[in-house]
Amino acid sequence: MSKIRARDRVTASFHFLNIKIPSEDGGDATYEGFDSYQIEEFKSRLLTLPTLDLSDEGVRNSLRTKKLVPIDELCQIDERTFFGKYRGAYWGHGYENTHAGYIPPESISLRPFYFLLYFSTDGKIYLGTQYLGQFGSYTALKNSLFRIFTGNYEISAHSFRSEAANLENVQPKEVRIVVSSSSKNANSDNIITSERLTVLKSLGRGSHTQSSIKTALVVNHKNPEKLREEVSKILRQDKIISFDDDDIVDCVIVAELNGRPFVLHFMEEGIRATKFEIKKIMYELDGHPGKSCVKDGMIEILEKNVLSKGENA
């Protein structure tokens, strides 16, 4: 493949997990790493996860609501490094398929992605998750990993961002807003229609909207909530859309940074995570990247771009 299309570009974001300790006097929370017992228990439970029963409707609803993902092909590279595959759920729209015929909206498609775990000496658990184009499911994977812990403590997730990205060079191209479609029946359990894409707005080069959103990005990129509010305000002022902030499920800016794709998901917890490109990729016949090259690429990024930034490895 001489030229990789943007939709086939393989990237990885990195995050770390630790324990959040709320302040007793209402001040800022503090954080600490997991102890050796908690780490070993997590590893043991991770390696013995049961296979999910995809015929169970409770499991299916957990997949739909990003509470759970199937995890398989897990291998232990060394004492501190694990690598495996998870499958992110996509659903909610009916469509025709040339092989399978009509696919109903409640049907769940499971896309495969790889992930990396690294257990540092200071008790942090680093998590790397792979994307293919704009597809990936960090939040669902993170929630699945949270469920493995058994202790009575609050787990916190943090996203790693490379400050090398100069947002002055960002050129916003599109804004996408997903809002909830609140059911008139408060007791309705119809989660199939709980979300809808309301805006897919292309931004003309040099337009007022593009300039305003670029300014909002530069000023508020470290504050996702404020950034979402500012973008919402811009869209309202330009009479693009009308909605309540509380109804926003996701807000995405598709942009270019120095000629390369740059995507920000405001609502997903991975918003502030840099997506590092994995360059040496071999694609399988099904269009997905090969396991070995993704593993090697993610380990290289972890060592050169994450652990090298002053963290205790």
Give a yes or no: residue 248 inside a domain: yes
Above pLDDT 70, what percent of the chain?
A: 68
Domain identity same for 93 and 112: yes
Domain identity same for 216 and 124: no
Give a yes or no: residue 270 inside a domain: no
302-309 mean pLDDT: 83
Beta strands 276-277 and 101-103, pairing class: unpaired
Domain identity same for 257 and 114: no
What rounded mean pLDDT belongs to the chain? 79
Domain identity same for 52 and 191: no
- Work out the pLDDT band at 272, boundaries 50, 70, 90: low
**116-125, 199-208, 238-247: lowest mean pLDDT where?**
238-247
* Secondary structure (DSSP) of 191-242: GGGSEEEEEEEE--TT-HHHHHHHHHHHHHTT-HHHHHHHHHHHHHHTTS--
Whose structure tokens read 């330009």?
238
Domain identity same for 84 and 182: no
Q: How many domains does the chain have?
A: 2
Q: Which of 237, 231, 199, 229 lies closest to 215 in space, CA to CA?
A: 231
Give a yes or no: residue 226 inside a domain: yes
The residue among 177 and 37 whose pLDDT is bigger is 37
pTM over 0.75: no
* CA distance from start to end of the chain: 36
Domain identity same for 256 and 138: no
Domain identity same for 36 and 71: yes
pLDDT value at 211 more than 50: yes
Give a yes or no: residue 225 inside a domain: yes
Element (H, E) at 143: helix 138-146
Residue range(s) defining the domain that contains residue 14: 6-160+275-306
pLDDT value at 210 more than 80: no
Whose structure tokens read 């990003």?
66
Domain identity same for 201 and 66: no
pLDDT recorded at residue 133: 85
Domain identity same for 38 and 154: yes
pLDDT value at 116 more than 90: yes
pLDDT recorded at residue 222: 62
Domain identity same for 197 and 66: no
